[in-house]
Amino acid sequence: MTAKSFCERLRARDSVVGYWVVLDAPPATERIARVGYDYVVLDGQHGLLSARGILDGLLAIDAAATDTVGLVRVEANNATPIGRALDAGAAGVIVPLIDTADDAARAVAAARYPPAGIRSYGPTRSGLRIGPTPADADAATVVLAMIETRSALENVAEICATPGLDGIYVGPSDLCLAVGGKYPGDPDVADVFEAAITRIAKVAADAGVAAGIHTKNGDTAKRRLSEGYTFATVSSDLDHLQSIAADHLATIGLTNRREPGDPAY
């Protein structure tokens, strides 16, 4: 699947499924890209990835020679990291901490060439894999706004109506805190959280834009897709690494043997 066909599917609200990468480990990222996910996200906000790490991750995804495309969650709603990620060859950006329609409009402008936006021309790598023509680049890259704050929840309809925005992406950990949770997954706010999740999907559907969400496992991703979300990301490389290692230890009949007084506990 080329970047353009991925973008066409996402904009058409077809179901697509992805994976999340936080580690700067290109050989591992390349293997993940061979599994069959439609996209792999490189986390430039909370992940352990520098600008060089993002570039190496995108190279690894393309080296897998599959239909999987690379997306980048940029560190901030700023033209520099957005442009850098797209110049490196990302098929799109996920932009964090979007609170208002004006925030969303700034993200769109940063990702689009003039006259639609303010992206500076310098397709150092994207020109090789997408093409050097600004119109082609705009058509073959997506802009996704994160819905993860109380303000974003209040303004989600206006955000979804932002011209040029391809979709929204729910960050469930921060959204849980935004609706009053003491920590991500707090059961005391489960009903309020689920109501927010349902409302966001409906608003996106009414606006005709893609609606995505991060999930902790395949079962949750499948459920969210059945509830109206059009794309879902499954867990992350670091979470799976720890989970699988712990599962093997438990199979042997052992558990975490660190003591609370251990400095590394």
In the numeric block, the tokens 């979709």 are attached to: 167
> What's the rounded Cα separation, in Å, for the pair 77 and 82?
7
Cβ–Cβ under 8 Å, residues 230 and 212: yes
| Confidence (pTM) | 0.93
Which residues make Cβ contacts (< 8 Å) with residue 243, sequence separation at least 6?
A: none
* Cα within 13 Å of Cα(246), Cβ side: 10
Tokens read off for 103: 């925030």
Going by pLDDT thresholds of 50, 70 and 90, the confidence category of residue 19 is: very high
Query: What are the pLDDT digits (tens) for 20-57?
Result: 999 999 999 999 999 999 999 999 999 999 999 999 99
Query: What are the pLDDT digits (tens) for 74-104?
Result: 999 999 999 999 999 999 999 999 999 999 9
Cβ–Cβ under 8 Å, residues 160 and 209: yes
167 three-state secondary structure: strand
Question: Looking at residue 119, what DSSP letter applies?
Answer: P
Q: How many CB atoms lie within 10 A of CB 151?
A: 16
Query: What are the pLDDT digits (tens) for 163-215?
Result: 999 999 999 999 999 999 999 999 999 999 999 999 999 999 999 999 999 99
Q: Which residues pair with 136 in a beta bridge?
A: none
- Is the model's pLDDT at 263 over the cut of 60? no
> What's the rounded Cα separation, in Å, for the pair 248 and 226?
32
Q: Give the Å distances, CA to CA, from 113 to 135, 158, 214.
A: 8, 23, 29
Check 46, 214, 240, 248 and give the catalytic one: 46
| pLDDT given at position 4 | 65
Catalytic residue status for 240 = no
What's the mean pLDDT when you consider all of the chain? 94
| pLDDT given at position 265 | 31
Provide mean pLDDT across the span 14-22: 98
